[in-house]
């Protein structure tokens, strides 16, 4: 089944939206785990949480960027623009 070029561009835009959402979610989780003076996690726990959350977020971002690049390239080289 072949998708139209406009649909492929729309799906690529959705993949970029997922990337933006993952970045916002990562920022929220980092801000949530930030150490404060009256309690909460210490600095070491904060660093561990940042790295532990960054690895799957980076994998999701890389996968969606690769998918979006493939879709945009395929949509640009189609003869039925």
pTM confidence score: 0.84
User: What is the domain partition of the chain in residue ranges?
Assistant: 5-76
Does 53 have pLDDT greater than 70? yes
pLDDT at 23: 97
For residue range 2-47, what is the model confidence (pLDDT) as tens digits? 888 889 999 999 999 999 999 999 999 998 888 887 777 788 888 9
The pLDDT of residue 52:
94
CA distances to 21, 34, 71 from 14, in Å: 10, 30, 11
> How many helices (H) and strands (E) are present in the chain, helices listed first?
2, 0
């Amino acid at each position: 089944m072949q998708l139209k070029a406009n649909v492929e561009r729309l799906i690529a835009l959705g993949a970029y939206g997922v990337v933006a959402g993952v970045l916002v979610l990562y920022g929220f989780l980092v801000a949530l785990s930030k150490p404060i003076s009256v309690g909460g996690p210490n600095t070491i726990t904060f660093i561990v949480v940042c790295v532990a959350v960054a690895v799957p977020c980076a994998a999701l971002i890389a996968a969606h960027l690769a998918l979006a690049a493939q879709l945009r390239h395929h949509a640009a080289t189609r003869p039925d623009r």
